[in-house]
């Protein structure tokens, strides 16, 4: 396969070609070697949950040894995948809560409460007294309440109270208001062991509950606590793509998810003593860049450059310019060890729960965080002399990141009357048709970044405001969507007018995947602001992820659906097609229960059309589509709009 068919990112294309020439492998090559992939797995109809199996459903053998049918098997597999995704986000959230408490207690001296305004707000929300109390005392209480959310024996998730009242009522009626995060995950595993829950609908209902424990629990807490600890993001400009690497500096890549590590490396890289050491080693400076969600965290808060998204991780090393790549948890390909061995790059694992064979491990200890980070930076500097041939693609684009819920309300309403009112008004008057979250990974099954960016282009030109998170943000950033100078020209007239008036790009980079919870909070605020219905399911909004990779993406998809928002996924990335009943429920029946539903569509243009249809139908139902204003695009309109 030609590099062009593998990625639309020019830097990636160059690196793919170079790796091929050097006889090195990457994820695309390994996918080729794996093709054709197991069709039972694809459909979700294989089960290896007990020792009577593994079983797979065929015409000849339509039942597993225990008698389980395809509905049970598909639903169980789906539930387990979601539970795994939830566990990842929530474990991240828990780690942050622990560091948060340690920081407040003075046991992790390098972590301080940066955004005390947000801390006070959170304290108030959680019923923690703030009057006449020192910041750290308040933080300890907030942190302990947050930590308890993961394992408390009774009660439901406190963050779920942020949802509109009608939404909470829907959850209550269906019995899916999430309890402790750990409990929902444990119950997911229990229900899906051999001989327990055999009613696919009951299994899928629990899939909603465990996913809600993520969106309105673990992941939301991760975002909130990180904001207090590292600062709530406000818009700032950064750069995206491999062109951010510097030939004459020590390049360090931070890769993974938890800012606990990367924040400290960012600090250490500015240390005078280390800078002097780098100079002595012959480098002009120390350049830190991120990949995957860690990159989003750093761009959001510090404008630190992004070297690439998920599928770029191996390619970045193949530039020969990376002295050290520090990884923590999630989305770290084992293939990294192989390419790192072809270059001088030092790969270092830092999370005790995520080691790699043959890779040096430096345990990230929160008590000595900064000195651990300094140690890593030193290793990078020491490795500079071992560089061989370097090739850095030129490609890079400016990107504005930092769109948190707080910064969006501030930009829209100003410092003294921060509010979502202007956004609601512009949705009501039709300048903005609706809001779509374009989220998720990059998957070698489709050309890297193609669907995210095609879809985003289709949406903004039809006056839909796009919020992005995760690797989709990076895909959009690489193609200029997060740069108002470029992307305003691609926006429809209504959206453009609003964006120009308030000074934002039509595509808002909202952060990492745990930050999808910022989208939930923003949607809840839109409902609260008024004029657009009573519930999240009334809003002209949708979520979409056409290049999903991780189980985390399924968890996110399911919590959007269970929050009343439809979610579009690509058929290639969701393994439920082996059960007609499961599909009927996920694509349709669930709508009656929860208001959202899954929609399958791999083609980004068609996906945009489906989403627009949904948005306009919601607008009709809200009564805000006055005849004259309604935009129905025919082919002719689309052609005119495609001319840039």
* C-beta closer to ligand XCC: residue 309 or 558: 309
- Tell the smallest beta-carbon distance from residue 469 to ligand XCC (Å): 7
Burial class (CB in 10 A: 0-12, 13-18, 19+), 127: exposed
Identify residues 114-173 at the interface with ligand XCC (CB under 6 A): none
Q: Is 331 a residue that touches ligand XCC (CB under 6 A)?
A: yes
**Which of ligand SF4, ligand XCC, none does residue 471 bind to, with CB < 5 to 8 Å depending on kind?**
ligand XCC
Integer Cα distance of 279 and 377 in angstroms: 13
| H, E, C per residue of 132-149 | CCCHHHHHHHHHHHHHHH
> Which one among 53, 303, 413, 430 touches ligand SF4, defined by CB under 6 A?
53
DSSP string, 310-376: GGGHHHHHTTS-EEEEEE-SSS--THHHHHHHHSSPEEEE--TT---TT-EE----GGGHHHHHHHH
Closer residue to ligand SF4 (CB): 256 or 578: 578
Q: Does 84 bind ligand SF4 (CB under 6 A)?
A: no
For 627, the token pair is: 């005849």
Non-local CB neighbours of 181 within 8 Å, separated by 6+ positions: 86, 90, 93, 149, 150, 151, 157, 213, 214, 217, 218
Of the candidates 93, 440, 447, 540, which one interacts with ligand XCC according to CB under 6 A? 440
Residue 290 is given by DSSP the state E
The DSSP H or E segment spanning 5 is helix 3-6
Beta strands in 5-127 (DSSP E): 46-47, 55-56
Tell me the number of residues near ligand XCC by CB under 6 A.
16
Query: Is the Cβ of residue 212 or residue 471 nearer to ligand XCC in the bound state?
Result: 471
Helix axes 116-125, 135-151, angle to 10 degrees: 50
- Determine, following the binding rule CB under 6 A, whether residue 1 of this chain makes contact with ligand SF4: no
Q: Find all residues with CB under 8 Å of 566, minimum gap 6, and list them.
A: 542, 543, 560, 596, 597, 598, 599, 614
Window contacting ligand SF4 (CB under 6 A); options: 49-57, 177-185, 333-341, 572-580: 49-57
Note whether 218 and 86 are within 8 A (CB): yes
48 binds, among ligand SF4, ligand XCC, none (CB under 5 to 8 A by kind): ligand SF4
Q: Are 399 and 472 in contact (CB under 8 A)?
A: no
Contact flag: residue 47 with ligand SF4 (CB under 6 A): yes
For the CB of residue 402, give the shortest distance to ligand SF4 in the complex, in Å. Answer: 47
Residue 46 binding ligand SF4, by CB under 6 A: no
3-state helix, strand, coil in the chain (%, to 5): 55, 10, 35
| Residue 435 interaction partner, one of ligand XCC, ligand SF4, none, beta carbon < 5-8 Å per kind | none
Residue 585, contacted partner among ligand SF4, ligand XCC, none, CB below 5-8 A by kind: none
Phi/psi of residue 630, each to 5°?
-60, 130
Q: Does 471 bind ligand XCC (CB under 6 A)?
A: yes
Binding partner of residue 293 among ligand SF4, ligand XCC, none, CB under 5 to 8 Å per kind? Answer: ligand XCC
Lay out the site mask for ligand XCC across 544-573 (x = CB under 6 A, - = otherwise). -----xx-xx--------------------
Within positions 167 to 206, which residues make up the interface with ligand SF4, using CB under 6 A?
Answer: 194
What whole-number distance in Å separates Cα of residue 298 and Cα of residue 296? 5
Which tokens belong to 473? 């943000």
Residue 348: which of ligand SF4, ligand XCC, none does it interact with, CB under 5 to 8 A by kind?
none
d(CA 144, CA 150): 10
* Residue listed under structure tokens 């108002």: 484
Shortest gap between Cβ of 190 and ligand SF4 (angstroms)?
13
Please state the closest distance from residue 455 (CB atom) to ligand SF4, in A.
37
Instruction: From 43-51, 339-347, 519-527, 583-591, give the range in contact with ligand SF4 by CB under 6 A.
Output: 43-51
Residue 57 or 240: the one with the smaller Cβ distance to ligand SF4 is: 57
Q: Looking at residues 272 to 301 of the shown chain, list those that interact with ligand XCC (rule: CB under 6 A).
A: 292-293
With respect to ligand XCC, which residue has the nearer C-beta, 192 or 309?
Answer: 309
Residue 177, CA atoms < 13 Å, CB-side half-sphere: 19
In whole angstroms, the minimum distance from the beta carbon of 412 to ligand XCC comes to: 26
**Residues at the interface with ligand SF4 (CB under 6 A):** 47-50, 52-55, 64-66, 68, 73, 194
**Residues at the interface with ligand XCC (CB under 6 A):** 257, 292-293, 309-310, 331, 440-441, 470-471, 512-513, 549-550, 552-553
């Amino acid at each position: 396969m030609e590099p062009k068919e593998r990625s639309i990112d020019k830097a990636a294309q160059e690196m793919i070609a170079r790796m091929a020439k050097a006889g090195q492998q990457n994820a695309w090559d390994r996918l080729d070697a794996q093709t054709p992939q197991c069709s039972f797995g694809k459909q979700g109809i294989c089960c290896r949950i007990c020792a009577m199996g593994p079983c797979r459903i065929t015409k000849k053998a339509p039942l597993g040894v225990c008698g389980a049918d395809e509905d049970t098997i598909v639903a169980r597999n789906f539930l387990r995948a979601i539970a795994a995704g939830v566990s990842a986000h929530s474990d991240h959230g828990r780690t942050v809560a622990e560091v948060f408490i340690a920081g407040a207690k003075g046991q992790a001296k390098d972590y301080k409460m940066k955004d005390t305004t947000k801390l006070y707000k959170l304290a108030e929300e959680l019923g923690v007294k703030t009057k006449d109390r020192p910041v750290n005392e308040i933080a300890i209480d907030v942190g302990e309440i947050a930590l308890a959310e993961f394992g408390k024996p009774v009660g439901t998730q406190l963050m779920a109270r942020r949802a509109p009242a009608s939404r909470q009522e829907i959850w209550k009626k269906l019995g899916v208001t999430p309890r402790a995060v750990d409990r929902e995950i444990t119950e997911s595993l229990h229900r899906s062991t051999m001989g327990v829950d055999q009613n696919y609908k009951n299994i899928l209902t629990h899939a909603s509950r465990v996913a809600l424990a993520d969106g309105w629990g673990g992941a939301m807490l991760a975002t909130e606590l990180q904001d207090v600890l590292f600062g709530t993001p406000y818009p700032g400009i950064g750069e995206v793509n491999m062109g951010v690497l510097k030939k004459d500096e020590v390049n360090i890549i931070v890769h993974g998810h938890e800012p606990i590590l990367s924040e400290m490396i960012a600090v250490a890289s500015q240390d005078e003593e280390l800078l002097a050491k780098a100079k002595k080693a012959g480098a002009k400076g120390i350049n830190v860049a991120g990949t995957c969600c860690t990159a989003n965290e750093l761009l959001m808060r510090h404008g630190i450059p992004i070297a690439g998204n998920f599928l770029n991780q191996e390619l970045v090393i193949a530039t020969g310019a990376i002295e050290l790549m520090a990884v923590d948890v999630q989305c770290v390909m084992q293939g990294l060890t192989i390419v790192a061995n072809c270059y001088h790059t030092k790969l270092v694992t830092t999370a005790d729960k995520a080691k790699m064979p043959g890779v040096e491990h430096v345990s990230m200890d929160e008590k000595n965080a900064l000195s651990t980070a300094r140690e890593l930076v030193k290793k990078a500097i020491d490795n500079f002399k071992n560089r061989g041939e370097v090739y850095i693609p030129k490609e890079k684009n400016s990107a504005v990141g930092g769109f948190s819920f707080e910064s969006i309300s501030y930009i829209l309403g100003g410092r003294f009357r921060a509010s979502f009112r202007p956004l609601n008004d512009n949705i009501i008057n039709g300048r903005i048709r609706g809001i779509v979250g374009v989220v998720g990974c990059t998957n070698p099954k489709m050309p890297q970044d193609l669907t995210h960016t095609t879809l985003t282009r289709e949406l903004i030109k039809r006056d839909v405001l796009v919020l992005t998170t995760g690797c989709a943000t990076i895909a959009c950033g690489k193609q200029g969507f997060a740069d108002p100078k470029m992307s305003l020209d691609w926006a429809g007239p209504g959206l453009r007018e609003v964006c120009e008036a308030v000074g934002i790009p039509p595509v808002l980079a909202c952060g990492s995947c745990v930050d999808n919870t910022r989208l939930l909070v923003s949607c809840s605020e839109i409902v609260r602001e008024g004029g657009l219905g009573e519930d999240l399911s009334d809003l002209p909004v949708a979520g979409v992820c056409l290049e999903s990779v991780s189980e985390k993406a399924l968890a996110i998809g399911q919590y959007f659906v269970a929050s009343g928002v439809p979610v579009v996924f690509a058929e290639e990335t969701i393994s439920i097609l082996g059960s007609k009943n499961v599909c009927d429920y996920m694509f349709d029946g669930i709508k009656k229960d929860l208001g959202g539903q899954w929609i399958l569509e791999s083609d980004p243009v068609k996906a945009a059309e489906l989403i627009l249809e949904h948005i306009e139908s919601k607008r009709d139902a809200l009564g805000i589509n006055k005849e004259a204003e309604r935009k129905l695009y025919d082919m002719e309109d689309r052609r005119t709009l495609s001319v840039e």
